[in-house]
Structure 1
Amino acid sequence: AAEPQCQTAADVIRVAEDAEALIVLYAPITHEVFAALPHLRIISLPLVGVDAVDLEAAREHGVWVAYVPDACVPEVGVHAVAMALALVRHLPFYDRAVREGRWDYEEPGVLRRPTHLTFGLLGCGRIARQAGASAAPSFGRVLAYDPYVPAENWPDGIERAPNIETLFRDSDVISLHAPIVAETRHIVDTALLARMKPGSYLVNAARGGLVDPGALLNALDSGQLAGAALDVFEPEPPDMNDPLLHHARVMVTPHAAYYSVEGDEEGRGRAVHNIIDFARCGRPNDFVVAGTK
């Protein structure tokens, strides 16, 4: 039988005792893992997100951390826009209502034409730009805020919001595309959600920790938000008693935005090539931590 995937740090330590290289998807690579694997020289992820790895511990132990910086960009961008359009057109509500025997297109409330709406992006990196390009034909305006992108690198076709407050105030749909770091944890809080137009929408296909779940629930219950689409939670999988899972105005997918057969094959292949490059040349092609081993 195939070895089951590692779920915990203890699993990794058990199966990788003599490993010099690891390919990691979601298993946590903690300080304890680095301390227990003295031969480890490189960790390679088939993803852009590296939050499964304790990067400070990697630096401390001289281990390279490689990644795929443009992994799954088309998939996540399209998934976010698909979720946004599904919310705007009330598709999850209609599907559920018809299956329950109700046939009334007016029941969920106002339907808006997307070309009259503003699609907002929190972040303007690779995935956000893909989402913006995918949203542009359907929405009337694409607006983004990202303080880390200099003016000369700002993409055509996406307006730049001067600050995060303006982004949330002016957008009818907000799609989150920021990394999870100390300053972005729960960045979407009660104050920021209160700036949104009543009846607007939130999409999160980035990281669950970007959103304060209590603030989101209150915004949905009050009608400040007409709906939310969540591909990510914190933790994952979520507690099945999480009220957001059972809320009538929330659609969920199981952290599936990144996935396609083609994207999975490409990401895994490039993760392997990062290790091959390291073996041949002493360094991987794409990395976030430069090791010393």
Structure 2
Amino acid sequence: MVRMVVTDHIFADLEQERSAAAALGTELESFNVATEEETVEALRGANIALVNFAPVTDAVLAAMAPGAVIVRYGIGYDNIDLEAADARGVSVCNVPDYGGDTVADHAVTLALMLLRKVTQFDRVLEAGEWTSPPALAPILASSQTTVGLFGTGRIGLAVARRLQPFGFKVIAYDPFANQETVREYGIELVPLDELFGRAHLVSLHAPATSATYKIVNAGNLARMRPGSFIVNTARGSLVDQDAVLGALESGQLAGVGLDVFDPEPLPREHGLRRHPNAILTPHAAFYSEQSLQNLQRLAAEEAIRAGRGEKLRCLVNSPALTTSNF
């Protein structure tokens, strides 16, 4: 019998996953693991694993059944050792299209709050004070503001589409960009140093890779205009959080909007938690009622394909050939 497991999740229920298991003639097993050791035990002998943040290491993969399939709830899969999965013949899938519009909405919300300095004004009034708007100068008109996108995938393009009616100039860096699509969106592609040098606000929309690791670092922050902004709704590892805090304290950055951190949660003692010009949300950009429903449905559908030996919709690796036991 196929063994289908959910390692960890944040959902109200697992009805869609249970229905998928029933369609495969099995029962769903659900856990709430966090450590490598717990994940090994949860996935020992498993054929299909639906994974949120559980660490899927080589030891975890070794414990799974031959020809197993992992479905990662969400877009990123940096908690899964892809090289080890390839070597052990384990297929890894993601769900890249469950809530891109929701993430884009969140990124643009953070960007507009920063550029209009909404949080700073609110804190003045919350303290019982009043201020003249020029006290928080400069605040530029949208038509005089350049937004730089680091990445022009599905979410980056959705951000551009939302920003352009406001009159923002949008530039982007993406070595893998579809040139024709980017032109259709009115985005100007630029080199990386020009992205940081020209943009008043840089918004990050790229996966976590060795090439993107801490791309927002002291060097690139120094290239930015004094008083500029950073928004990150992608992956926490794209940002050097200590460098960002230093840039806020020096005034090189006027504000940041961060939804993701490295590590997560952001340590209680980190200075970003207390900085008045930092808007922080707890990895919430993906969330809406509809996006969660889409995520569970698409993950469950992929699990059914895996159990039936059908072509997987969103395979992200190239596993070695093995003999599947289901």
TM-score, normalised to structure 1, is 0.94
Q: Are 1:238 and 2:233 matched, yes or no?
A: no
Q: 1:105 to 1:65 in 2, by over 3 A?
A: farther
SS of the residue corresponding to residue 316 of structure 2 reads strand
Structure 2 counterparts to residues 1-293 of structure 1, below 5 A: 5-39=32-66, 41-106=68-133, 107-291=135-319, 292=321, 293=324
- Structure 2: which amino acid aligns with 1:200? S
Whether the aligned pair in 2 keeps the contact of 1:177 and 1:205 (CA below 8 Å) is yes
CA shift for structure 1 position 150: 4.1
| Aligned-partner Cα distance in 2 for 1:6–1:105 | 51
Q: Structure 2 vs 1, CA of residues 158 and 215 (structure 1 numbering), >3 Å: closer, same or farther?
A: farther
Query: Equivalents in 2 of 1:245, 1:103: separation in Å?
Result: 24
Which structure 1 residue ranges, 5 or more long, are not aligned?
Answer: none
Instruction: Percent identity, please.
Output: 36
Cα distance 1:161–1:152, how it changes in 2: closer, same or farther (>3 A)? closer
Instruction: Provide the C-alpha distance between the structure 2 equivalents of 1:96 and 1:5, rounded to a whole number of angstroms.
Output: 38
Q: Deviations over 1:153-193 (max 9, x none)?
A: 43413322330111111111110111111111111112211
SS in 1 for 2:136: coil
CA distance in 2, matches of 1:4, 1:151: 44
AA partner of residue 42 (structure 2)? V
Shift of 1:252: 0.2
Q: Give, in angstroms, the shift of residue 4 of structure 1.
A: 5.6
Greater radius of gyration (CA) = 2
Counterpart contact for 1:231–1:255, Cα < 8 Å: yes
Does the 8 Å contact 1:97/1:103 carry over to 2?
yes
Bigger Cα displacement from structure 2, 136-145 vs 238-247:
136-145
Question: What is the distance in 2 between the residues matched to 1:241 and 1:158?
Answer: 42
Distance in 1, matches of 2:247 and 2:152, equals 25
The alpha carbon displacement at 1:54 in A equals 0.7
Return the alpha-carbon distance in structure 2 between the equivalents of residues 115 and 34 of structure 1: 51
SS of the equivalent of 2:203 reads strand
CA distance in 1, matches of 2:79, 2:183: 30
Task: Give unpaired runs (5+ residues) of structure 2.
Answer: 1-12, 14-29
CA distance 1:40–1:22, shift in 2 (3 Å): farther
SS in 1 for 2:86: helix
* Alpha-carbon distance in structure 2 between the residues aligned to 1:113 and 1:263: 32
Report the count of equivalent residues. Answer: 292
Opposite residue 270 of structure 2, the aligned amino acid is: D
